[in-house]
C-alpha cells in the first residue's frame, strides 16, 4: 500500500505530497518538528511530544494552525490510514509560503505535515553487540545562540557531525559543546554508567531534552539507580563502566567503544541491558 501523507487536513499519496518551493521551511529551515514512535498502534508519549512541538513553535514565534487535540487525532489517523502499528511518525510544521527574504511576517499558511512510516535507524546487530562512536570536531550549537530545546527544521549542525562521524567509520558520533564538555550525539542523548549510577549531561550543556531520555531517567529511578545530570568530559566517557544512547528512533542502544577506547568490558553491560528491557516493557504497556 502506498504511503499516505497528511498535509493540512488532507491525505495525499506519497508521490503527490507537495508544498511550495517558496515555503520558508525549505528556503531557510524555518519551522519545527517532532519524531514519534508508535507501538501496537499507540503513540509513545504523544502528549509530551506535542507539548514540546508547541513550545518550540512558541519560541520561534510560529503559530501552529491547529489546536493540540485535533493535531493528536491527526497523528493517530495517519497511523490508521497507513495501517501502521509499530512505526515512526514525522510531524512537521513549516513557516509557510513567503518571499525570498528572511522576514517571517511576509509568510502565510504554515504547513502541517504528518508522515507515518516504518524506520530502522540502526541494524539489530548494534543492539546486541553495541555501537562504536567517535568524537567529532563539529561543535554543538552554542545554547545562547539557538536554544537546543527548540527542535527546529535546521539540523545542519547535527548533519555535519553525522557526515564527519561516518567519514571516520562510525554511524553515530559524539558532539562536544563550546566548553569542550560532552553534549549529545548527532541524533541521540548519551548516558554513562559509573559505580552503579547513571550520569548524563544537563540541559545546560546544549542538549535536546529527549522524550526517551526522560523516560529512561524515570525507569532508572524506579529500579533504584541514582541519576545525576552533571557536566561530563570525554575522560568521564572513557572511564565509564557502561555507555548507552537514547532517542525516539534509536530507543536505547549500547555503546562499547568511543575514540578507540573500550568502554567497560567492551560488551553491553548489565545495567544497559536491564534498561533496554524495562524500556521495551514500558512501550508495550
Q: What is the pLDDT of residues 131-174, one digit of tens each?
A: 999 999 999 999 999 999 999 999 999 999 999 999 999 999 99
Helix (H) or strand (E) holding 235: helix 234-238
For the cut 90, the answer to whether the pLDDT of residue 282 exceeds it is: yes
pLDDT digits (tens, 9 = 90+) for 57-69: 999 999 999 999 9
Which residues make Cβ contacts (< 8 Å) with residue 73, sequence separation at least 6? none
Do 242 and 193 form a contact (C-beta atoms < 8 A)? yes
What are the structural domains of the chain? 4-117 (3.30.470.10), 124-283 (3.20.10.10)
State the cell numbers at 244.
548507552
pLDDT number for residue 267:
98
Known catalytic residue: 166?
Answer: no
Please say whether the beta carbons of 37 and 28 come within 8 A.
Answer: no
Distance in angstroms (rounded) separating the CA atoms of residues 95 and 105: 10
pLDDT at 120: 81
| pLDDT at res. 272 | 98
Mean of the per-residue pLDDT values of the chain:
97
Q: What is the DSSP string of 149-192?
A: TS-BS--HHHHHHHHHHHHTT-SEEEEE-TTS-EEEESSSEEEE
The pLDDT value recorded for residue 127 is: 96
**Could you give the CA distance from residue 9 to residue 265 in angstroms, rounded to a whole number?**
52
- Residue 32 C-alpha cell reads as 519545527
Q: Residues for the chain: how many in total?
A: 285
Average pLDDT over residues 12-26: 97
Catalytic residue among 151, 162, 166, 195: 151
The predicted pLDDT at position 119 comes to 83
Q: Cβ distance 110 to 62 under 8 Å? A: yes
Residue 254's pLDDT is what?
Answer: 98
- Name the pLDDT band for 7 (thresholds 50, 70, 90): very high
Convert the pLDDT of each residue in 200-250 to its tens digit.
999 999 999 999 999 999 999 999 999 999 999 999 999 999 999 999 999
Structure confidence at residue 285 (pLDDT): 81
As a whole number, mean pLDDT of residues 107-131 equals 94
pLDDT digits (tens, 9 = 90+) for 175-201: 999 999 999 999 999 999 999 999 999
pLDDT tens digit sequence for 94-103: 999 999 999 9
Distance of alpha carbon 84 from alpha carbon 78, whole angstroms: 9
Amino acid at each position: 500500500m502506498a504511503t499516505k501523507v497528511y498535509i493540512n487536513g488532507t491525505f495525499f499519496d506519497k508521490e503527490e505530497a507537495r508544498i511550495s518551493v517558496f515555503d520558508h521551511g525549505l528556503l531557510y529551515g524555518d519551522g519545527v518538528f517532532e519524531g514519534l514512535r508508535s507501538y501496537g498502534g499507540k503513540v509513545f508519549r504523544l502528549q509530551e511530544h506535542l507539548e514540546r512541538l508547541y513550545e518550540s513553535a512558541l519560541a520561534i514565534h510560529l503559530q501552529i494552525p491547529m489546536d493540540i487535540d485535533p493535531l493528536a487525532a491527526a497523528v493517530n489517523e495517519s497511523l490508521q490510514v497507513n495501517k501502521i502499528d509499530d512505526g515512526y511518525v514525522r510531524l512537521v510544521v513549516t513557516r509557510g509560503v513567503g518571499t525570498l527574504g528572511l522576514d517571517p511576517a511576509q509568510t502565510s499558511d504554515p504547513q502541517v505535515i504528518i508522515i507515518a512510516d516504518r524506520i530502522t535507524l540502526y541494524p539489530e546487530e548494534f543492539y546486541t553487540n553495541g555501537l562504536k562512536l567517535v568524537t567529532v570536531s563539529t561543535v554543538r550549537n552554542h545554547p545562547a545562540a539557538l536554544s537546543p530545546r527548540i527542535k527546529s527544521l535546521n539540523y545542519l549542525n547535527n548533519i555535519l557531525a553525522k557526515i564527519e562521524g561516518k567519514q571516520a567509520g562510525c554511524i553515530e558520533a559524539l558532539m562536544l559543546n563550546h566548553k569542550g564538555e560532552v553534549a549529545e550525539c548527532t541524533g541521540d542523548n548519551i548516558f554513562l554508567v559509573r559505580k552503579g549510577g547513571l550520569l548524563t549531561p544537563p540541559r545546560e550543556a546544549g542538549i535536546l531534552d529527549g522524550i526517551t531520555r526522560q523516560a529512561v531517567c524515570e525507569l532508572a529511578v524506579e529500579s533504584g539507580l541514582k541519576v545525576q545530570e552533571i557536566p561530563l568530559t570525554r575522560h568521564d566517557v572513557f572511564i565509564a563502566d557502561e555507555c548507552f544512547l537514547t532517542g525516539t528512533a534509536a530507543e536505547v542502544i549500547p555503546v562499547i567503544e568511543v575514540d578507540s577506547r573500550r568502554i567497560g568490558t567492551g560488551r553491553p553491560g548489565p545495567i544497559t541491558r536491564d534498561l533496554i528491557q524495562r524500556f521495551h516493557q514500558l512501550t508495550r504497556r
